[in-house]
Amino acid sequence: MNKLEYEISIFGEASLLIQIKKEPSDILLNWLLGCCDHIRSTLNIEVIHTYNEILLKNLPSDELITIKNKLPEILSSQVVCKQVKSELYRIPVCYETAFAKDIEAYSTSLGLSISEVIRLHTSVTYTVYFMGFLPGFPYLEGLDKRLHLPRKDTPARKIIKGSIAIGGSQTGIYPQESPGGWHCIGQTPISLYDSLQEPPILLKAGDRVVFYEITAAAFKSFKN
């Protein structure tokens, strides 16, 4: 990767945050995955990443400054980009209003028809950039700019399992029932998280996702 620009800051009482000054991309994703592995193996600590940030978690408070001072040397060393074995998942989605409580208001806010929202949402191959918020919740990169809409001013108290939602420039899938501020435009019968399965989480960073439309009847008869 080209010259790396970043900022390192203390985040809370026991974490360090590395903010990479680059826009999300497949190249950056591969670098982030390799860098997280490099930091883990070098410092033996818990590390997670987002679109362009790396968080070092649960650090001893008396070692924060020492670790912070070590990071520039670690980041300047050769990081091997991690070429993830990517899987392509075709995710069925019912966009009918009974399964998409926000799709009417959402499409109106954007000045689009519901059919246009569905067409745009299903016309992209998304990249799973990272997992977070809830176990199995994928943050998907690639949402058409015409579908970008800020999160709700007032979050919903209950978003049902399998909801396909949009918040800002992101789309994602709620793997379990949860409060949330994203706009729910559909629902999938696919289970993304099952604690009894191994592995319990279906998707991983680097995987690809394509959504396709199904009817309510198909949803109700669908089996994982």
Chain segment 173-215, per-residue pLDDT in tens: 999 999 999 999 999 999 999 887 878 899 999 999 999 999 9
The answer to whether residues 45 and 39 touch, using CB atoms and an 8 Å cutoff, is: yes
Chain segment 63-74, per-residue pLDDT in tens: 899 999 999 888
Is the model's pLDDT at 82 over the cut of 70? no
What is the phi/psi pair of residue 32, to 5°? -60, -45
Chain segment 119-176, per-residue pLDDT in tens: 999 999 999 999 888 888 999 999 999 999 999 999 999 999 999 999 999 999 999 9
What's this model's pTM, rounded to 2 decimal places? 0.84
**Domains in the chain, ordered, with CATH?**
6-76 (3.30.1360.40), 88-221 (2.40.100.10)
